[in-house]
Amino acid sequence: MNLISCDGVSSDIRALSNRPARATAEVLFVGTQCNFSQSLISATSQELGHITVGAASSLGDVRGLTETTGEWPSLLVLDEPTMRGLAPQDRACLLGLPDMALAVAFCSSAFARACYEDEGLRQRMISLFPLNVRLDVWLSVVKLVAHGGNYIPPEIMATAPAATPPGAAGDETGLTQRQHDVLRLVADGQSNKRIALMLGLSVHTVKLHLRNASQRLGAHNRTDAAMRYRALRP
Protein backbone atom coordinates (compact mmCIF):
# COMPACT_ATOMS: atom_id res chain seq x y z
CA MET A 1 0.00 0.00 0.00
CA ASN A 2 1.26 3.45 -0.79
CA LEU A 3 -1.42 6.11 -0.65
CA ILE A 4 -0.82 9.84 -0.53
CA SER A 5 -1.86 11.78 2.54
CA CYS A 6 -3.33 15.25 2.47
CA ASP A 7 -0.01 16.78 3.38
CA GLY A 8 1.74 14.98 0.53
CA VAL A 9 3.47 12.43 2.76
CA SER A 10 3.28 8.77 1.73
CA SER A 11 1.25 6.70 4.18
CA ASP A 12 -0.88 3.59 4.52
CA ILE A 13 -4.10 5.59 4.43
CA ARG A 14 -4.81 9.24 3.86
CA ALA A 15 -5.47 10.36 7.45
CA LEU A 16 -7.61 13.46 7.64
CA SER A 17 -7.50 14.24 11.35
CA ASN A 18 -4.88 16.07 13.38
CA ARG A 19 -5.60 13.69 16.27
CA PRO A 20 -4.88 10.18 14.96
CA ALA A 21 -5.87 8.19 18.05
CA ARG A 22 -5.84 4.90 16.12
CA ALA A 23 -3.66 3.22 13.52
CA THR A 24 -6.81 2.78 11.42
CA ALA A 25 -9.26 5.67 10.99
CA GLU A 26 -12.62 5.34 12.74
CA VAL A 27 -14.44 6.30 9.52
CA LEU A 28 -12.78 5.05 6.37
CA PHE A 29 -13.88 5.87 2.80
CA VAL A 30 -12.88 3.33 0.14
CA GLY A 31 -13.08 4.25 -3.52
CA THR A 32 -11.77 6.48 -6.27
CA GLN A 33 -10.59 10.01 -5.67
CA CYS A 34 -13.16 11.03 -8.26
CA ASN A 35 -15.92 9.98 -5.85
CA PHE A 36 -14.13 10.64 -2.57
CA SER A 37 -12.08 13.71 -3.35
CA GLN A 38 -9.59 15.22 -0.94
CA SER A 39 -11.84 18.26 -0.47
CA LEU A 40 -14.90 16.10 0.28
CA ILE A 41 -13.07 13.95 2.82
CA SER A 42 -11.50 17.03 4.43
CA ALA A 43 -14.92 18.66 4.81
CA THR A 44 -16.28 15.43 6.27
CA SER A 45 -13.39 15.25 8.74
CA GLN A 46 -14.07 18.81 9.91
CA GLU A 47 -17.77 18.03 10.34
CA LEU A 48 -17.11 14.88 12.41
CA GLY A 49 -14.67 16.67 14.70
CA HIS A 50 -13.02 14.24 17.10
CA ILE A 51 -13.79 11.18 14.91
CA THR A 52 -10.74 10.26 12.83
CA VAL A 53 -11.40 10.04 9.09
CA GLY A 54 -9.32 8.49 6.31
CA ALA A 55 -9.52 7.31 2.72
CA ALA A 56 -8.14 4.34 0.80
CA SER A 57 -8.30 3.46 -2.89
CA SER A 58 -9.22 -0.22 -2.52
CA LEU A 59 -10.48 -2.78 -0.05
CA GLY A 60 -7.21 -4.64 -0.53
CA ASP A 61 -5.36 -1.66 0.93
CA VAL A 62 -7.71 -1.64 3.89
CA ARG A 63 -7.32 -5.37 4.53
CA GLY A 64 -3.56 -5.12 4.35
CA LEU A 65 -3.55 -2.31 6.90
CA THR A 66 -5.96 -4.05 9.27
CA GLU A 67 -3.91 -7.24 9.14
CA THR A 68 -0.94 -5.15 10.31
CA THR A 69 -2.72 -3.11 12.97
CA GLY A 70 -5.39 -5.57 14.08
CA GLU A 71 -7.97 -2.75 13.80
CA TRP A 72 -10.96 -2.27 11.54
CA PRO A 73 -12.71 1.11 11.24
CA SER A 74 -15.95 1.68 13.11
CA LEU A 75 -17.59 2.72 9.83
CA LEU A 76 -16.53 1.64 6.35
CA VAL A 77 -18.01 3.59 3.41
CA LEU A 78 -17.59 2.02 -0.04
CA ASP A 79 -18.33 3.85 -3.28
CA GLU A 80 -20.49 2.11 -5.87
CA PRO A 81 -17.64 0.89 -8.14
CA THR A 82 -15.87 -0.68 -5.14
CA MET A 83 -19.07 -2.37 -3.97
CA ARG A 84 -19.80 -3.68 -7.46
CA GLY A 85 -16.30 -5.13 -7.69
CA LEU A 86 -16.30 -7.00 -4.37
CA ALA A 87 -15.06 -10.57 -4.62
CA PRO A 88 -17.26 -13.14 -2.79
CA GLN A 89 -14.66 -13.57 -0.06
CA ASP A 90 -14.44 -9.81 0.49
CA ARG A 91 -18.21 -9.52 0.74
CA ALA A 92 -18.32 -12.42 3.21
CA CYS A 93 -15.57 -10.78 5.27
CA LEU A 94 -17.40 -7.45 5.49
CA LEU A 95 -20.76 -8.99 6.31
CA GLY A 96 -19.11 -11.07 9.01
CA LEU A 97 -17.81 -8.08 11.01
CA PRO A 98 -20.76 -7.23 13.31
CA ASP A 99 -18.94 -4.47 15.20
CA MET A 100 -18.29 -2.42 12.06
CA ALA A 101 -20.99 -0.32 10.38
CA LEU A 102 -21.17 -0.46 6.57
CA ALA A 103 -22.40 2.09 4.06
CA VAL A 104 -22.48 2.43 0.27
CA ALA A 105 -22.25 5.81 -1.45
CA PHE A 106 -24.08 5.14 -4.71
CA CYS A 107 -24.17 6.84 -8.08
CA SER A 108 -27.25 5.13 -9.55
CA SER A 109 -30.63 4.60 -7.93
CA ALA A 110 -30.94 1.21 -9.63
CA PHE A 111 -27.84 -0.03 -7.82
CA ALA A 112 -29.08 1.39 -4.52
CA ARG A 113 -32.38 -0.46 -4.95
CA ALA A 114 -30.48 -3.68 -5.70
CA CYS A 115 -28.50 -3.23 -2.48
CA TYR A 116 -31.68 -2.50 -0.52
CA GLU A 117 -33.31 -5.67 -1.86
CA ASP A 118 -30.22 -7.80 -1.13
CA GLU A 119 -31.18 -9.91 1.90
CA GLY A 120 -27.60 -10.19 3.14
CA LEU A 121 -27.16 -6.41 3.12
CA ARG A 122 -30.56 -5.84 4.70
CA GLN A 123 -29.66 -8.23 7.53
CA ARG A 124 -26.44 -6.26 8.01
CA MET A 125 -28.43 -2.98 8.11
CA ILE A 126 -26.13 -1.34 5.58
CA SER A 127 -26.69 2.39 5.03
CA LEU A 128 -27.14 3.84 1.55
CA PHE A 129 -26.67 7.44 0.49
CA PRO A 130 -26.13 9.18 -2.84
CA LEU A 131 -22.89 10.79 -3.93
CA ASN A 132 -24.55 13.49 -6.03
CA VAL A 133 -26.09 15.58 -3.26
CA ARG A 134 -25.35 19.00 -1.78
CA LEU A 135 -22.43 19.07 0.62
CA ASP A 136 -24.60 19.99 3.61
CA VAL A 137 -26.87 17.00 2.94
CA TRP A 138 -23.86 14.70 2.55
CA LEU A 139 -22.36 15.90 5.83
CA SER A 140 -25.63 15.46 7.71
CA VAL A 141 -26.10 11.89 6.48
CA VAL A 142 -22.49 10.85 7.12
CA LYS A 143 -22.63 12.37 10.60
CA LEU A 144 -25.81 10.41 11.36
CA VAL A 145 -24.27 7.11 10.21
CA ALA A 146 -20.92 7.79 11.91
CA HIS A 147 -22.74 8.23 15.23
CA GLY A 148 -24.49 4.87 14.98
CA GLY A 149 -27.58 5.75 12.92
CA ASN A 150 -28.83 4.08 9.76
CA TYR A 151 -29.88 5.85 6.58
CA ILE A 152 -31.77 4.68 3.49
CA PRO A 153 -33.14 7.36 1.09
CA PRO A 154 -36.95 7.42 1.29
CA GLU A 155 -37.24 7.13 -2.48
CA ILE A 156 -35.25 3.88 -2.43
CA MET A 157 -37.48 2.36 0.25
CA ALA A 158 -40.59 3.54 -1.58
CA THR A 159 -39.67 1.88 -4.90
CA ALA A 160 -38.22 -1.39 -3.53
CA PRO A 161 -40.46 -4.33 -2.54
CA ALA A 162 -40.47 -5.23 1.12
CA ALA A 163 -38.31 -8.19 1.97
CA THR A 164 -39.81 -11.23 3.65
CA PRO A 165 -38.45 -11.69 7.17
CA PRO A 166 -36.44 -14.89 7.40
CA GLY A 167 -38.16 -16.08 10.56
CA ALA A 168 -34.93 -17.20 12.20
CA ALA A 169 -36.54 -17.30 15.61
CA GLY A 170 -39.22 -19.71 14.42
CA ASP A 171 -42.16 -17.45 15.30
CA GLU A 172 -44.52 -15.17 13.45
CA THR A 173 -42.52 -12.03 14.21
CA GLY A 174 -39.44 -13.16 12.26
CA LEU A 175 -37.22 -11.99 15.12
CA THR A 176 -34.05 -13.91 15.97
CA GLN A 177 -33.49 -15.09 19.52
CA ARG A 178 -30.86 -12.40 20.08
CA GLN A 179 -33.27 -9.71 18.82
CA HIS A 180 -35.86 -11.04 21.28
CA ASP A 181 -33.26 -10.80 24.06
CA VAL A 182 -32.39 -7.20 23.20
CA LEU A 183 -36.01 -6.07 22.78
CA ARG A 184 -37.03 -7.73 26.04
CA LEU A 185 -34.40 -5.72 27.90
CA VAL A 186 -35.27 -2.51 26.02
CA ALA A 187 -38.91 -3.03 26.96
CA ASP A 188 -37.79 -3.49 30.57
CA GLY A 189 -36.15 -0.05 30.49
CA GLN A 190 -32.50 -1.08 30.22
CA SER A 191 -29.99 1.18 28.44
CA ASN A 192 -27.93 -0.03 25.48
CA LYS A 193 -24.80 -0.03 27.65
CA ARG A 194 -26.50 -2.12 30.33
CA ILE A 195 -27.89 -4.53 27.71
CA ALA A 196 -24.41 -4.94 26.24
CA LEU A 197 -23.02 -5.86 29.67
CA MET A 198 -25.88 -8.28 30.42
CA LEU A 199 -25.64 -10.10 27.07
CA GLY A 200 -21.87 -9.94 26.66
CA LEU A 201 -22.08 -7.82 23.48
CA SER A 202 -20.64 -4.53 22.33
CA VAL A 203 -22.90 -1.47 22.43
CA HIS A 204 -22.65 -1.24 18.61
CA THR A 205 -23.89 -4.84 18.26
CA VAL A 206 -26.80 -4.10 20.59
CA LYS A 207 -27.73 -1.13 18.40
CA LEU A 208 -27.47 -3.33 15.30
CA HIS A 209 -29.83 -5.95 16.77
CA LEU A 210 -32.22 -3.20 17.85
CA ARG A 211 -32.26 -1.61 14.38
CA ASN A 212 -32.87 -4.99 12.72
CA ALA A 213 -35.64 -5.81 15.17
CA SER A 214 -37.23 -2.38 14.76
CA GLN A 215 -37.27 -2.81 11.00
CA ARG A 216 -39.02 -6.18 11.30
CA LEU A 217 -41.63 -4.80 13.67
CA GLY A 218 -42.16 -1.66 11.58
CA ALA A 219 -41.10 0.52 14.51
CA HIS A 220 -39.89 4.07 13.95
CA ASN A 221 -37.65 4.42 16.99
CA ARG A 222 -36.51 2.73 20.19
CA THR A 223 -39.62 3.68 22.17
CA ASP A 224 -41.93 2.47 19.40
CA ALA A 225 -40.01 -0.83 19.21
CA ALA A 226 -40.38 -1.34 22.97
CA MET A 227 -44.13 -0.65 22.82
CA ARG A 228 -44.64 -3.02 19.90
CA TYR A 229 -42.63 -5.72 21.62
CA ARG A 230 -44.61 -5.37 24.86
CA ALA A 231 -47.78 -5.91 22.82
CA LEU A 232 -46.35 -9.20 21.53
CA ARG A 233 -45.43 -10.54 24.96
CA PRO A 234 -47.88 -12.93 26.58
User: 13, 61 in Cβ contact below 8 A?
Assistant: yes
Closest Cα to residue 46, out of 118, 142, 184, 169? Answer: 142
Q: How many CA atoms lie within 13 A of 69 on its CB side?
A: 16
Q: Within a domain: residue 124?
A: yes
Query: Is 189 found in the same domain as 85?
Result: no
Query: Is 136 found in the same domain as 225?
Result: no
Rounded-to-integer distance, Cα 127 and Cα 149, Å: 9
Query: Is 134 found in the same domain as 41?
Result: yes
Q: Within a domain: residue 98?
A: yes
**How far from 126 is each of 5, 70, 81, 147, 201, CA to CA, in Å?**
28, 23, 16, 14, 19
Range of the domain at 53: 24-157
| Residue 126: CATH number of its domain | 3.40.50.2300
pLDDT in tens, the chain (234 residues): 333 333 332 233 444 334 444 456 789 999 998 999 999 999 999 999 888 999 998 888 888 878 887 888 889 999 999 999 999 988 988 888 877 889 999 999 999 999 988 888 877 778 899 998 899 999 999 998 888 887 888 788 765 444 444 433 445 667 888 888 889 888 888 888 888 887 878 888 888 889 888 888 888 888 888 888 888 765
User: 1, 64 in Cβ contact below 8 A?
Assistant: yes
Q: Within a domain: residue 227?
A: yes
Residues 6+ apart with CB under 8 A from 125: 150, 208, 211, 212, 215
Phi and psi for 15 in degrees, rounded to 5?
-80, 130
| Residue 199: CATH number of its domain | 1.10.10.10
Rounded-to-integer distance, Cα 105 and Cα 130, Å: 5
Q: Within a domain: residue 17?
A: no
Query: Is 149 found in the same domain as 226?
Result: no
This prediction has a pTM of 0.62
Instruction: Among 95, 124, 157, give the residue marking a domain's end.
Output: 157
Report the pLDDT value the prediction gives residue 139, as an integer from 0 to 100.
Answer: 93
The count of domains in the chain is 2
Q: Within a domain: residue 65?
A: yes
Query: Is 141 found in the same domain as 221?
Result: no
Query: Is 85 found in the same domain as 32?
Result: yes
Q: Within a domain: residue 170?
A: no
Instruction: Among 100, 122, 157, give the residue marking a domain's end.
Output: 157
Q: Within a domain: residue 166?
A: no
Contacts 24+ apart (CB under 8 A), 184-187: 184/229, 184/233, 186/210, 186/222, 186/225, 186/226, 186/229, 187/226, 187/229, 187/230, 187/233
